[in-house]
Structure 1
């Protein structure tokens, strides 16, 4: 399969268009007729396997689905971005800042392998930990807007807590994540106990990389998440490395790039405490925060 047919923006565009169509109650045949395209063409577009993506088609689909302005602008941006083979996201004006492209990837993933050096990852955050971050991160928003952000995060966590086929989480947290105070001591104590409890679930593994471990891979990687979409479908998607940063995020899917992050994660994981020792440390630091009240 040519590389251009398996890019992240192409697949993301397809996912969001399918969601919009289903929300509108239309069938593929009905949508295709309205934009004067064949059903098979629209089907390939939704699957992320279209040979050619026409921005005019995406604009028309957004109109007939009643897409809001932000979503429409984002999908048109994805359509334009899908024309390139590699996707380094510093979108500029292509996609609105308040449109979270990563969420589509997250919702489709079957396994998350990640390393975090500053914050608890979103899927493992308590409501109060998220709330403290939101209040500082977007201080100009109203309290109601803050709560919507918190609830959105809580809803996303169903991916790993649902009873049927929960996603697998394998995460290493640097010890600095445990010591960095978000909110206050009470918030941190509850958050760390939450992590310890989550780590007892069969689909969730949490390890701590202590300060004493230094830099196991010999290089500073920053935080990253490797998303695996499983192999139980006829069109299995390649794994993607998501590396967020302050001014723009990277989405990498070339085999060599993913392999390098696999190697870095292996080195980090081998230097980390085992699961039981990590759980004990989480509870120990939680007690320390509780003693500060």
Structure 2
């Protein structure tokens, strides 16, 4: 779980670790050599390079930079990332967010594009306040009413990345038609939720496409867990582009996939699903049609 002393800035830590790894490889140092020169364990160097350390000392960053023959400007950039990694995120300090999901939230807040598939409930970013309350309660049965409200408030704040005025994130949602018919809350709750999705889909940065029952199992796609593909802004001045990542969440925890092979598989799945979905206008019409049925 997230704690007050637990920095949430996953992305700067990842960038710092990757930059140090590339610098080490650039001068031909093995992990063992770097650890010996830095008077650290090999495990410690690996953790820094993978961005797993909550905090990296500026002194260590400076020594790594000198060891890897970086110039002063490059070392200053590395130190800047180390300082950013200690910045608390807006969700820090709450006991309601698991550490794995906190790591995802940090990546989501820095992403430029999201490609999302869900087959059972409305994706969190598109949930209405009312729908979210009904989703949260059964998932966290020991929560107090105050905890439930705080979880819902956090979910609503998270969704602001879709509607913020400055660089709203581009998001593509592929949603199985079953989501429209799995009743969460009252008929009125469902009607208002589906109309909310339809309204959100009119925004230029949001695409919603429904995978209809009639599509069956399209192409090479097979039933998979819900997933989110995150792409990041290109052209970073300091260290190039942040690699994309796939996030999946199960009852037992969170998983991230980052290898080129895994990304290729998930992008292939996403393309197969997208090809079988209804167009954006058709999807919007279906959402509103099912909403009217709930109203009746």
CA contact (8 A) 1:159 1:167 kept: yes
Q: Secondary structure at the match of 1:169?
A: strand
1:142 corresponds to which of 138, 141, 144: 144
- Residue segments in structure 2 that go unaligned for 5+ positions in a row: 1-16, 23-45, 65-75
SS at structure 1 position matched to 2:122: coil
Which of 116, 122, 125 is 1:123 aligned to? Answer: 125
- TM-score of the two chains, using structure 2 as the length reference: 0.70
User: In structure 2, which of residues 218, 225, 230 is the aligned counterpart of residue 227 of structure 1?
Assistant: 230
Aligned partner of 1:271 in structure 2 is 276
Residue 208 of structure 1 is matched in structure 2 by 210
Which residue is 1:109 aligned to? Answer: 111
CA distance, structure 2, for counterparts of residue 136 and residue 213 of structure 1: 31
Q: Tell me which structure has the larger Cα radius of gyration.
A: 2
Q: Distance in 2 between matches of 1:203 and 1:226?
A: 16
Q: How far apart, in 2, do the equivalents of 1:228 and 1:70 lie?
A: 28
Does structure 2 conserve the Cα–Cα contact (< 8 Å) formed by 1:17 and 1:46? no
Between the aligned partners of 2:175 and 2:120, the Cα distance in structure 1 is 8
| Residues 173 and 208 in structure 1, CA contact (< 8 A), matched pair in contact too | yes
**Residue 155 (structure 2) aligns with:** 153
* 1:49-60 superposed matches below 5 A: none
Pairing of 1:120-199 with structure 2 (within 5 A): 120-199=122-201
In the alignment, does 2:263 pair up with 1:258? Answer: yes
Report SS of the residue matched to 1:244: strand
Say whether 1:100 aligns with 2:102: yes
- Runs of 4+ aligned residues of structure 1 deviating over 2 Å after TM superposition are 1-14, 36-48, 67-71, 96-101
Report the CA distance between 1:139 and its aligned residue: 2.0
TM-score normalised by the chain length of structure 1: 0.71
Question: Is residue 2:247 matched to residue 1:242?
Answer: yes
Query: In 1, Cα distance between the equivalents of 2:50 and 2:168?
Result: 22
Structure 1 residues 152-161 or 136-145, which shifts more? 136-145
**What SS is found at the alignment partner of 1:241?**
strand
Q: In structure 1, how many angstroms separate the alpha carbons of the residues matched to 2:246 and 2:133?
A: 27
